[in-house]
Amino acid sequence: MSLETKRQIAEQLFNDTSAYADIMALPHHVSSRHPAMPQGDRAAQFAPFAALTGYDDLLAASAQDLRQRADLPFEAMAKCRRNLRAVCAVIATKPRVDLTVFAPETGESRTIRVRLKAANETQLTLLDGQVILVENLQAIQLLKNNH
């Protein structure tokens, strides 16, 4: 499931306020009998939810794991750089290549067969205009038959 599909599902589930349309325009009730609760006391009511403390740290650690999985061993990175230089040398021919690309959003790697329009040390531009950052590139293989 793509990241965009996941976002659309989340928006449908959590952004639909149509069930509350009948009360959305009503004014906020202010009691004439009871004074407003101080904000410090109101915040104390939610202290039991402090169990989520540390959740951001857990997410950051998970993101760090994903970044580390994207880092290639030295030999693989050196081979990737050599192959990238070879592709750059023939970029005018719009070569066909197999790219293995890491998606930091999902933590997945995928291999695609594409034609390149342009390439430099920071990004690859595919014939369809899509841009792939070299930092996310895990492998590139120039295909012999470029027809």
Task: State pLDDT tens for residues 92-138.
Answer: 999 999 999 988 777 788 999 999 999 988 999 999 999 999 988 99
Query: Measured between alpha carbons, how far is 50 from 45 in angstroms, rounded to an integer?
Result: 11
DSSP symbol at 4: H
DSSP per-residue codes, 61-116: HHHHHHHHHHPPPHHHHHHHHHHHHHHHHTGGG--EEEEEEEETTTTEEEEEEEEE
| Domain range annotation of the chain | 74-142
Task: State pLDDT tens for residues 58-105.
Answer: 777 776 666 655 567 888 889 999 999 999 999 999 999 999 998 877
The CATH T-level fold of domain 74-142 is SH3 type barrels. (2.30.30)
Which of these, 122, 97, 105, lies nearest to 70 by C-alpha position?
Answer: 105
Q: Which residues pair with 131 in a beta bridge?
A: 125
Residues 106, 63: contact at Cβ < 8 Å?
Answer: no
Q: Is the pTM of this model over 0.75?
A: no
Burial 20-43 (b: 16+ CB within 10 A, else e): eeeeeeeeeeeeeeeeeeeeeeee
Out of 15-24, 31-40, 55-64, pick the least confident.
55-64
pLDDT for position 109: 86
